[in-house]
């Protein structure tokens, strides 16, 4: 179900609030990674069981015939779900974390998903700073 997938990935990204990246010595730059520095995970990386993760996933895009695509198919993700995950992965890879919430909400709206949990993310820790003093 797309709703559950959407919420799981979106909440993961918003909680982590940091791109999952690793340094590529071949390219001499930081690149997105399914598993990155400081135990970070990208939109798809958070769906990979630790026991199933292999370094060969890294460096390959999510497309048919890739190892990561095959992994997701073997975990019974449908074609529709995998294509949806590509959109969430795009948000992780192409936007700064401070823009993720807005982008995730937009994807949710386009796919007619309930976006309430995403819109309200982070609000539950805010308290009313107004203090009423009773004398």
- Measured distance CA(111)–CA(1) in Å, rounded: 12
| pTM for this prediction | 0.86
Tell me if residue 108 falls in helix, strand or coil. Answer: helix
Q: Count CA atoms within 13 Å of residue 9 on its CB side.
A: 30
- Measured distance CA(53)–CA(35) in Å, rounded: 9
Could you give the percent of the chain with pLDDT greater than 70?
Answer: 90
Pick from 81, 87, 92, 78: nearest CA to 34: 92
Phi-psi region of 39 (alpha: psi -120 to 50; beta: other; left: phi over 0): left
Which H/E stretch holds residue 24?
A: strand 21-24
Please give the residue that has the higher pLDDT: either 60 or 130. 60
- Residues 16-47: tens digit of each pLDDT: 999 999 887 777 778 899 999 999 999 999 99
Every domain of the chain and the residues it spans:
2-120
The answer on pLDDT for 130 being more than 60 is no
């Amino acid at each position: 179900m797309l709703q559950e997938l959407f919420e799981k990935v979106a909440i993961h990204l918003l909680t982590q609030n940091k791109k999952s990246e690793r340094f590529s010595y071949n390219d001499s730059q930081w690149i997105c990674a399914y598993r990155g520095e400081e135990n970070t995970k990208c939109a798809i990386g958070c769906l990979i069981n630790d026991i199933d993760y292999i370094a060969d996933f890294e460096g390959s895009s999510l497309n048919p015939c890739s190892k990561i695509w095959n992994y997701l198919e073997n975990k019974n993700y449908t074609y529709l779900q995998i294509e949806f995950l590509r959109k969430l992965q795009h948000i992780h890879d192409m936007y700064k974390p401070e823009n993720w919430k807005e982008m995730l909400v937009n994807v949710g709206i386009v796919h007619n998903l309930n976006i309430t949990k995403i819109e309200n993310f982070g609000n539950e820790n805010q308290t009313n700073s107004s203090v009423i003093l009773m004398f």
